[in-house]
Structure 1
Amino acid sequence: MIKKIVTLLLLLIFSYLLIMKVKLNYELEKANNRLHDYNSQNIKLSYGNISYAEIGKGEVILSCHGLFGGYDQGIENLKSLSKYMRIIAPSRFGYLESDVKGKGTPKDQSKAYVELLDKLGIDKVYVMGASAGGTSAIRFALDYPEMCKGLILYCSAMPETKKSENVNLKQGPAEILVNNYMMYITSPFFKATMGMEQEVIKTMLPIDLRKLGVKIDSEITNPDMSLNFNDYKIENLQIPTLILQAKDDKIVDYNKTLAAAGRFPNLTLKIFENGGHMIKGHGEEIDKYVLEFINSNSHK
């Protein structure tokens, strides 16, 4: 009886893996076709290539995507605002054909943003950082305040309130998961582990074009505000800041966001009761808050 049960379980597992493989191949084809729809461009900067996409006209928002992102995620995060704003969405280091400057630190990334904006003839922007992209957005605001009209942090990584003696140097997914197949077969568990729907996997594919970026985020970007606490002088920020956060976010701790909020001198804080890491279901409210924030500060 035990042998029959084990055999049945193995058969079920094998069938599941086979079905997921077939479904993955279909989704990969769709994902690769979807990337072409963004009409992305490549620009040669001093250190190498950067890929980016843009949409809309008006005030410029530099959109810094999160983990497993790229120019596609950067556009999607703000697409509904493109009728009012010009969205510039670069792929950060290691994502979708973007090369790496130096060691790939947030400081290096903010320098790359400056080069890109110079190439595009843009003097000043609002910068929006989503999730892991928040670190380089904060770094950009600190290092180039003359180029930054305002800082928007959307479910973003947050600065520490005090220097930590023990910093986790690996803040990201296990390396074994960072490939198309392994991430796809674990996607049914996204809701339980990260509070995100399984469908999110479709926006992460193809993972092989984002793998280096995930590694850089996990080992360099995400630990940076803790490792270099003294370099993140948040209290010196004079530009206006808008923070958007959901209480039930399983990726960014709501309590940490509240604690960090006290460090921003010119802050507008918008908290949502639910919505998870992507503040799902609150798109219209988010657009309203972002538009109000930009409109109230653009004349200054």
Structure 2
Amino acid sequence: MVSRRAALGLGVVGAGLVAAGGAVASAYGRDMARARALVAPELSRVIPSRFGTLEYAEAGKGVPLLMVHGTGGGFDQGLFFARRFSEAGYRIIAPSRFGYLRSAFPDDPSSENQADALVDLLDALDIDRVAIAGGSAGALSAMSFAIRHPGRCAALLPLVPASYVPRDTPVQSVPPEQMQMAMAALRSDFLFWLAITTLPDLLTQALLATRPALIKAADPAEQARARHILEAILPVSLRADGLLNDARLASNPAPMPLETITAPTLALSYEDDAFGTAAAARYIGERVPGARVKVFADGGHIGIGHDAESFAVIDGFLKQIGYAS
């Protein structure tokens, strides 16, 4: 339930913008048109899976890399995060997870069922084995894939994984009341647009778990990357079911039998990620046989200042294990 103060906060901001009249309507219409263009149906395909429709898109040519997006994403986010790989000789396959964009939202949208749906996608594409990267909440699906389908998993890459780690208390990126304000906007394109337009620092901290000061100190390219990640959550109305499911799965992730993972594994994170994924990455390194771990000193949840370095670490790992040439 959204707190009264959070609702009042959005209401006061909304009243002020409504008073601005046509300029607000024009800006909202322009931004929404741009957001919808990034997820236009002609940019992706859909296949039938055992859990309903599954959407995906591809970019690049070469060895396949299955890029499983994080919270607030879809195929578009997967392609965006993997753009360096598609430019470097990888064939990126980017699905939309359950409840995102044109993918179905089944009765049981678990990470395990999502992993099985990814097998259906590989079968449709006639791909036997694949390296799989999963970002944030998407790491849960990627890890489940490696556990449930070891014969199909050539390498596992949990990136800023929102996975289980023993803790006394759950991690909160912002105070609960502010998170409630952010979550209040998740089924309304206008409210979400309003929030990121008027309260970008709050949404950056709440949803991207990255200090706004870190972004402001970064170079222009990294600032633009962070801004795109936040703005590209629109249209949020097409992602709301997935977002809320991720909030359920990642807020209290269940332990997994990590000791059974046989695929070469590299877990990557950033020490100051407010979602606490550095600890999760290290836990994966402790439990998965032979796993490697890379934790940068800073970068927040989206790796600000380390985009090129992170690519180099992952690319080097895949080449070292003989998956990529």
TM range (shorter): 0.7 to 0.9
Q: TM (normalized to structure 2)?
A: 0.78
Deviation at 1:103, TM superposition (A): 0.6
- State the match for 1:110 in structure 2: 115
Match for residue 81 of structure 1 among 57, 78, 85: 85
Look up the SS of the partner of 2:310 in the other structure: helix
Distance 2:13 2:238 in 1: 31
Deviation at 1:165, TM superposition (A): 11
Deviation at 1:53, TM superposition (A): 0.3
Letter in 1 for 2:308: E
Contact 1:243 1:268 in 2 (8 A): yes
Match for residue 237 of structure 1 among 235, 238, 261: 261
Which ranges of structure 2 fall in alignment gaps of 5 or more residues?
1-10, 213-225
Q: How does 1:211-290 map to 2 (within 5 A)?
A: 211-219=240-248, 221-222=249-250, 225-226=253-254, 229=255, 232-290=256-314
Change (3 A) 1:235 1:26: same
Moved more, 96-105 or 59-68: 96-105
Letter in 1 for 2:121: L
Distance 1:62 1:217 in 2: 19
Match for residue 160 of structure 2 among 149, 155, 159: 155
Match for residue 229 of structure 2 among 185, 195, 200: 200
Which ranges of structure 1 fall in alignment gaps of 5 or more residues?
1-9
Distance 1:118 1:205 in 2: 31
How many residues get paired?
283
Change (3 A) 1:235 1:54: same
Moved more, 183-192 or 238-247: 183-192
Deviation at 1:176, TM superposition (A): 2.1
Q: Deviations over 1:271-292 (max 9, x none)?
A: 1122111102212211211111
Q: How does 1:155-194 map to 2 (within 5 A)?
A: 155-161=160-166, 174=180, 175-178=183-186, 179-187=188-196, 188=200, 189-193=202-206, 194=209
Look up the SS of the partner of 2:272 in the other structure: coil
Letter in 2 for 1:208: S
Distance 2:13 2:34 in 1: 27
Q: What is the identity percentage for the equivalent residue pairs of Structure 1 and Structure 2?
A: 28
Deviation at 1:66, TM superposition (A): 0.7
- State the match for 1:7 in structure 2: none
Look up the SS of the partner of 1:225 in the other structure: coil
Q: TM (normalized to structure 1)?
A: 0.84
Contact 1:184 1:201 in 2 (8 A): no
Letter in 2 for 1:182: L
Q: How does 1:68-147 map to 2 (within 5 A)?
A: 68-83=72-87, 84-147=89-152
Q: RMSD value over aligned CA atoms?
A: 3.0
Deviation at 1:160, TM superposition (A): 2.6
Contact 1:66 1:130 in 2 (8 A): yes
Distance 1:165 1:279 in 2: 24
Deviation at 1:102, TM superposition (A): 4.3
Distance 1:192 1:234 in 2: 30
- State the match for 2:319 in structure 1: 295
Deviation at 1:293, TM superposition (A): 1.0
Deviation at 1:161, TM superposition (A): 4.0
